[in-house]
Amino acid sequence: MHYFFLEGQRLSVETEVELFERDFNHAYRVLRLKPGDVLAISDARGKAFRGTVSVSEPKSIKVRLVEELSSAESPLNIILCHALSKGEKMDLVVRQAVELGVKKIIPVTTKRSIPDLGNNKEKKKNQRWQNIARSAAAQCRRAFIPAVERVRDLKAILLEFKGNPFLVPWEEESQLPLVDVLKQPPPRGKAVLLFIGPEGGFENSEIEAINNAGGKLVHLGPRILRTETAATAAITMVQAAWGDLGLEGEK
């Protein structure tokens, strides 16, 4: 079943809605949707509906909503804070994080991450990442599009989220595995923050700042992982233990 978003729209059963212009060409010329075809529409805020195409014309595709669909959202509010990576690695991080159920992604600058993007380049990158998040959310049938926020530095992130569970995989941590932390009950009423460091690792002063802010340094196992792999591994482990990827996750 094809899946589309109508961000900002109020959706309800037995109403007729029109696909956004940004989705029209793909729906009409690529998918060749015709009256009677079944698809799903989400408001991007948590609700999704099954509908049937009522009008398919060169300049308009309309859909009548017939029933609300069950949610595919995780019970966990996972926020991924990921150090900026070179090339297109952040594209992969965003896509996989959305597929695995994170609620928000914040790109972060550290002392060893790539240089400041500059305002114009940052805006273009952020829009690209948000578009990737939208596409990934549709692909995995989420009813919520995670926000990819503006780039922030480590100090600002630590100050903003002080007091929340803050899990930081670090290649030099050898005593505390993430799996041991996840044997504890999941936090209630707070976001779960995962902070993935840069390709060159954290500097000692940054580790000290993380400790002072209450961050919990953990390791993911015996192998050193690339940053994009570490993000996927950590999110998967958290969702399996506390979220909706494990048999004992909250419903």
Asked if residue 95 belongs to a domain, the reply is yes
Q: Is residue 154 part of a domain?
A: yes
Instruction: Kindly state whether residues 209 and 88 are assigned to the same domain.
Output: yes
pTM over 0.85: yes
Looking at the structure, tell me whether residues 55 and 156 fall in a common domain: no
Residue 217's DSSP bridge partners are 168
Q: Is the same domain home to 224 and 123?
A: yes
**In this predicted structure, what is the pLDDT of residue 162?**
80
138 and 52 co-located in one domain? no
CA neighbor of 200 nearest in space, from 170, 229, 222, 240: 170
Q: How many domains does the chain have?
A: 2
In a domain, 110, yes or no: yes
Looking at the structure, tell me whether residues 51 and 113 fall in a common domain: no
- 87 and 63 within one domain: no
Q: Which helix (H) or strand (E) holds 54?
A: strand 48-57
Integer Cα distance of 90 and 121 in angstroms: 14
The residue ranges of the chain whose pLDDT is under 50 are 248-251
Q: Which domain holds residue 49?
A: 2-68
Nearest 10 degrees: Cα torsion 88, 101, 11, 30:
40
Q: Which of 68, 90, 111 is the last residue of a domain?
A: 68
Q: What is the pLDDT of residue 249?
A: 41
Residues 217, 182: one domain? yes
State whether 62 and 83 are in the same domain: no
Task: Write down which residue in 68, 100, 125 finishes a domain.
Answer: 68
Residue 199 forms part of a structural domain: yes
Same domain, 126 and 201: yes
Whether residue 251 lies inside any domain: the answer is no
Same domain as 45, residue 6: yes
- Which token pair is 104? 């928000």
- What 3-state DSSP class applies to 218? strand
